[in-house]
Amino acid sequence: MIKNTPYDLERDFAPISMTVIVPNLLYSHPSLPAKNVKELIAFARTRPGRLSYASAGVGSTSHLAMELFLSMTGLKMLHVPYKGASQAAIDVMAGHLPMTFGNIMNALPHTKTGRIRALGVTSAKRVSAAADIPTIAEAGLPGYEAVQWYGLLAPAGTARDIVLKLHAGVVKALQDAAVKKRFIDDGAEPAASASPEDFSALIRAEIAKWAKVVKAAGIQPE
C-alpha cells in the first residue's frame, strides 16, 4: 500500500515471533435482509454492484477485508470509504449503509442492543471475547481469514542465539494469565509463533496474499 518504503520487510529484519492477532467483525444494519454470511452471499449475488459497504478508507483493514471477501465469492459491491472507522461505524448503525468490517470490541455492545447484526469474525478461530459469533469461514466462506497481526522483529543479522532468546521470552510472556487476559479484554488473541522460522514464513505468505488482493481490487499504492 506504500509506494516508497525505506526498507524491505523480508531483507532488513530478523523475525522473532508474532505476538497477537486482532480480528475484525463483519456486521450489518438490521434492515439488511441477510441474517448470516451464507444469506449475505446469496442476497448480494442477485444484486451485483447494488449493495454498498463502508470502510475506514482506501487501503484500510476494513477495505481489504471486504476486498478479500469479494474476491473469494466473486461478488461486486460499491465501496464507500470514510476518513476513519468511527464515522463508518456510525453510518452503518444509523442505517445509511448496510454493512462494514469493524473493531470487534467496539461493535460488541451494539450487537447486544440490536443496533447492528454480527455476521462473522474475520479470524480462522472464534474470538474468546465473543465465542458465540461464528467465524466467516465457518459461517459460509471456507478459508476466509483477514486479521491484523502484530509481532516482534530485530535488525537483519541479529545473532541466532539472541533471536531464540527473544522468541522464548515472547512465548513465556504470552502464557502469563494476566497478560493473556489483558489482550483478550482488548479484543486481541495471543498467538506466539512456534519458531522464528514460522513467523518468517507467515510474513512471506501475508505479503503474497495481500499483494494479490490489492492488485485484484485495483488499489494504487500511495
Q: What is the set of domains in the chain, with CATH numbers?
A: 13-19+147-214 (3.40.190.150), 26-121+134-139 (3.40.190.10)
Handedness of CA 6, 160, 208, 129 (dihedral sign): negative
Q: What is the pLDDT confidence band of residue 5, given thresholds at 50, 70 and 90?
A: confident
Instruction: Report the percentage of the chain scoring pLDDT > 90.
Output: 85
pLDDT of 156 reads 97
pLDDT digits (tens, 9 = 90+) for 92-124: 999 999 999 999 888 999 999 999 999 999 999
DSSP collapsed to 3 states, 49-103 = CCCEEEECCCCCHHHHHHHHHHHHHCCCCEEEECCCHHHHHHHHHCCCCCEEEEE
CA angle 130, 99, 147 (to 5 degrees): 50
The single residue listed with the C-alpha cell 500500500 is: 1
pLDDT digits (tens, 9 = 90+) for 134-148: 999 999 999 999 999
Instruction: Give the three-class secondary structure for 122.
Output: coil
Whole-model pTM?
0.90
Q: Residue 222: is its pLDDT beyond 80?
A: no
Please tell me what DSSP assigns to residue 180.
Answer: H
What residues are paired with 18 via a beta bridge?
Answer: 151
pLDDT of 134 reads 96
